[in-house]
Structure 1
Amino acid sequence: MNMTQAQEWLRSIPESFCKTALTDIDRTLATIRAEHDVIIPLAIESGSRAWGFPSHYDCRFIFIRPMAQYLSLWPVRDVIEIPLTQELDVNGWDLAKAVRLLLKGNVVVMEWLSSPIIYGMDTAFQTQFMALAHRVCSRPLVARHYLHLGEKQYNRNCNGQGQDMRLKKLFYALRPAIALRWLRLHPAENVVPMHFPSLLRECELEHGTVEIIDDLIRAKAQTRETRLVRMPAMLDQLVAHEFAYAHEAFDHLSPKISAHAMTEADDFFHQQIRSCHR
């Protein structure tokens, strides 16, 4: 299946990117297109590396199947997963799944749409999908998603107990807290920046706090993610405060998805499917 419409294709890969890993990812995406007969309008790097933390490679993509499969009584899986290797983790979601999760406040889709590392992207698709996110995403649902992600790690690994924890897990608690702070400071916004250093710059943090976080980022880049560290007291207080504020600000708000948002999502989905099969 081939995209027949005129499109502008974007690719954005850092100079420091491992050439072998890039070749493997490109080859894997080409194989997926051929074997599953899908269009992939968006393929990006997700997770730690795209946040600005050197790590292994997490390629994520959104795919669109042939029209007949959307009309069939026997729908196929809405995910495509490739077996993990030591360096690569490659999997993707059907567009329908991605749109539904976006409406539920799942921040993963938003992060894919704003990743700075792009293996291949139809710019019109990304622009229209991101515009949909800004129009229909519920701030309470987005906040609750970050709160759930962050508290799960915080309560399990930190919670002011002064215990050592894996460096990777520390950021799994810290980053959602910083995202919640960003939402608090930007009351008209609902799509949080993905790139962590950029996010920090927009959060009005004290200089000493930023220095501590920068030191942890450097440590993550230079050592194994399994290294044990202790959550600095200043960051522990920051995380606890932002989670508490988020509960106060968002717990009482309705998580219901509006009928208007559902209609807009339907329209976007139909438009993309039709565009791919002209």
Structure 2
Amino acid sequence: MSIEPAIRQEIETRLSAVEAEDGVRLLLAIESGSRAWGFPSPDSDYDVRFLYVRPRRDYLALSPVRDVIERPIVDEIDLNGWDIRKALGLMLRNNSVLSEWIGSPIEYRDPDPFVARMAELKDRHFDPNGFALHYAKLGRTAIARWLQDESEVAVKRYFYALRPALAIRVLRRDPSRRPPMQLQQLMAEADLSASLAGEIERLVAMKADTREAGPIARLPEIDALIADELGRADEVPARPTSEAFAAEANDLFLELVEDT
């Protein structure tokens, strides 16, 4: 999905302001919300996410510097990012959010070469079971109790459970690589029945024409898929944790900071 030039320019202006005001260098700046996931609504925010590195002296200070930068949402632009040290720590814990940021189809800046090295490191030590468990947690948090208790569901809440469920399904089918971020790519790799794929496509079309919080009647076939896949994360095979993963991540971080 393309971003209107005026919006893109405003986002770039705000990203440059972050660098100037917080004294950081951005390594990555992407879209991470429903626009990048493939199911935007007319009132969807622009969920701009970024990774940054601070000057070396900040990492040596006695008082640790906050590892998140956030800006208030203004004109539907939601801007926040993570310090690279925080990001690498999450990478070691199989956080799928970082993986998706790296693979976002919407970039606001060309990634720093460091990002490709980080992605290569992650791919070599990728633990499919760790990712599946993280997606299961995301999905269960999203649905909370609505699968049992509500006759209607906000459109966006369906997707916040459906996308993690499809990611688990893709991992069960091919645990050799990280699942894609975008819903349509997940569907293509998930081997869905024609009726189920059609239901999801109708849901995407519905969300494109309604408010984020607009309610819809429950969809039993999609409900069943979500419940089934969120309960099957343990079926995805695990890769044993390697001590080399943490050591290589640490070396990568030190190399980056030494050059900053």
**TM-score in same-fold range (> 0.5):** yes
The answer (yes or no) to whether the contact 1:79–1:91 under 8 Å persists in 2 is yes
Query: Equivalences for 1:1-278 in 2 at 5 Å?
Result: 14=2, 17-54=3-40, 55-159=44-148, 161=149, 163-189=151-177, 191-249=178-236, 257-274=241-258, 276-277=259-260
The count of corresponding residues between Structure 1 and Structure 2 is 257
Distance 1:201 1:171 in 2: 16
Distance change in 2, residues 1:22/1:249 (3 Å): closer
Q: Which residue of 2 aligns with 1:9?
A: none
User: C-alpha distance in 1, partners of 2:236/2:80?
Assistant: 35
Q: What 5-or-longer segments of structure 1 have no aligned partner?
A: 1-12
Q: Deviations over 1:174-198 (max 9, x none)?
A: 1110000010000222x21011111
- Tell me if structure 1 keeps the 8 A contact 2:29–2:111: no
Q: Any conservation in 2 of the 1:57–1:89 contact (CA below 8 Å)?
A: yes
Cα distance per residue 1:20-45 (max 9 Å; x no partner): 32222111111111111111011000
Q: Secondary structure at the match of 2:94?
A: coil
SS of the equivalent of 2:28 reads strand
Deviations 1:208-244 (Å, cap 9, x if unpaired)? 1111101100111111111111331111111111122
Letter in 1 for 2:64: P
Distance 1:200 1:249 in 2: 18
Structure 1: how far apart are the matches of 2:63 and 2:233?
Answer: 42
Is the Cα–Cα contact under 8 Å of residues 87 and 98 in structure 2 kept in the other structure? yes
Residue 140 (structure 1) shift: 2.1
CA contact (8 A) 1:179 1:199 kept: yes
User: TM-score scaled by structure 1?
Assistant: 0.87
> Alpha-carbon deviation of 1:247?
3.8
With the length of structure 2 as denominator, give the TM-score of the two structures.
0.92
What's the RMSD between the two structures over aligned residues? 1.9
Q: Offset of 1:127 from its aligned partner? A: 1.6
Query: Is the 8 Å Cα contact of residues 103 and 138 (structure 1) preserved in structure 2?
Result: no
Equivalent residue of 1:121, what SS?
Answer: coil
